[in-house]
Structure 1
Amino acid sequence: MSELTRWFDARRSPFDLLERLFDGDRDAPGAIRVEEVVDGDSLLVRAELPGVDPEKDVDISVRNGSLLISAQRQERKEEKEKGGYRSEFRYGSFSRTLPLPEGATEQDIQATYTDGVLEVRVPVPEQKQSEHRKIEVKRTG
């Protein structure tokens, strides 16, 4: 199945297609898998990034109300034996853009990295609860 056919597969719901268009294909080879959780007064984003050096290979930025997480991975494996030499390497770039909640404060965003998982904590101010009001529907004709 071609990539284009997979993207526009008729078995997908229209909502799935819209989500892919606006959020990107989460299962694409260059996408970072994330989990978003509201934890108290913060949005907690956990991203799977095994095998990277967070100080050199990870970039986190905020642009136009979105959180952009990007990373690069370069892994090299060498085996030297008596009769030969074998070298293998893997590399790639990964990124994910997530919309930030309204009122999120960019200055207080914090990130930590432990055991291959990047955690980004975004403070979010308490949202005012809108007053619930029922609207009466009037029948005409």
Structure 2
Amino acid sequence: MASVDPLEQQTRPEAHRDLAVAILDVSFEVRRKSHEGTGVLPLSSGLLDIVRVIERHPGITVAEVAARLGRQLSNVSAQLRELVALGLVTRTRDAADKRYVVLHPTPEALRIRNVLEEAWAEALASASSRLLPAERAQIAASLPALERLASILAEPE
């Protein structure tokens, strides 16, 4: 039986599908297992996605958030009203152009992000302790490539 070249295997469509599914599965399980005990108000994935975009791009407009998330402007506007009411996002007029409203995370949103990121790290640390040392090393070595991949995927289309 001939062995499969690792580079060839990486370019197979199935490999990309498998990677996408694995990333989504890890994300889902990390979030599911880490929220309890944080004292943080549970936020839907949709709300959390909006907050994360605003945290990464303070001063972003509502339309830009909708475009980055591939969602309808009206849906994002409704969710933003909820986030403003929860004290996680502020809406202010753009200083350069008063026609636009810009969005910023509040200190509470940043605090929640830190709490959740610590909880996510703990969930991963607990699960990865059950991996073989070589598997942990593979994951650690892949982090720069995964961060770059995420950055490329986040680029506006």
Same fold (TM over 0.5): no
Q: TM-score, normalised by structure 2?
A: 0.24
As a proportion of its length, which structure holds more strand?
1
Q: Specify which structure has the higher proportion of helix.
A: 2
